[in-house]
């Protein structure tokens, strides 16, 4: 299934796609993809996301996701945030804005209007599970 026409494939992915197509055209039958192609795809997936990388390259989504997981976080746990900013406001103000930005540049922004503080860790954990 092709990507929607409004979604432009990044030039770096197009270049790797051309290299892969050339390599595939020289192969007979099903041959294991060289590690250098997988590593290039992992690097692109870190920047553009797994689906956006795997689809135009005709790579197995789950294999790429698994490789990305092991290269991005060798410890096996959640990766640490590079930056966390918590802004406190005076107690009489009953509104806050929560904004999370993932490594893939997806952003979640929540405007909270309540006297009860949100479960910051729970919100972040739920979003990471859906995004990841």
pLDDT tens profile 48-78: 889 899 999 999 999 999 998 765 444 444 4
In a domain? residue 6: no
Q: Which domain holds residue 23?
A: 11-72
Find the Cα–Cα–Cα–Cα dihedral 65, 67, 72, 77, rounded to 10°: 80
Same domain? 16 vs 36:
yes
In a domain? residue 2: no
In a domain? residue 4: no
In a domain? residue 122: yes
Same domain? 43 vs 84:
no
Note the pLDDT of residue 74.
42
Angstrom distance (rounded) from CA 91 to CA 113: 13
Please tell me whether residue 107 adopts helix, strand or coil conformation.
strand
In a domain? residue 19: yes
Note the pLDDT of residue 113.
78
pLDDT confidence band for 122 (50 / 70 / 90)? confident
Domain C-terminal end among 55, 72, 89 = 72
Note the pLDDT of residue 120.
72
End-to-end CA distance of the chain: 22
In a domain? residue 36: yes
Same domain? 96 vs 66:
no
Same domain? 68 vs 83:
no
How many other CB atoms sit within 10 Å of the CB of residue 126?
12
Note the pLDDT of residue 105.
72
How many other CB atoms sit within 10 Å of the CB of residue 42?
19
Please count the structural domains in the chain. Answer: 2
Same domain? 59 vs 86:
no
Same domain? 124 vs 84:
yes
Higher pLDDT, 95 or 13: 13
Angstrom distance (rounded) from CA 82 to CA 61: 26
Please tell me whether residue 41 adopts helix, strand or coil conformation.
helix
């Amino acid at each position: 299934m092709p990507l929607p026409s409004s979604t432009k494939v990044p030039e770096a992915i197009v270049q790797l796609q051309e290299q892969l197509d050339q390599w595939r055209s020289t192969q007979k039958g099903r041959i294991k993809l060289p590690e250098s192609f997988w590593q290039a795809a992992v690097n692109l997936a870190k920047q553009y996301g797994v689906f956006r990388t795997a689809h135009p390259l005709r790579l197995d989504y789950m294999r790429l996701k698994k490789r990305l997981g092991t290269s991005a976080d060798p410890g096996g746990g959640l990766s640490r945030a590079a930056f966390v900013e918590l802004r406190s406001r005076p107690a009489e103000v009953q509104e806050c804005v929560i904004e999370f930005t993932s490594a893939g540049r997806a952003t979640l922004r929540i405007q909270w209007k309540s006297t009860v503080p949100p479960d910051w860790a729970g919100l972040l954990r739920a979003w990471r599970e859906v995004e990841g």
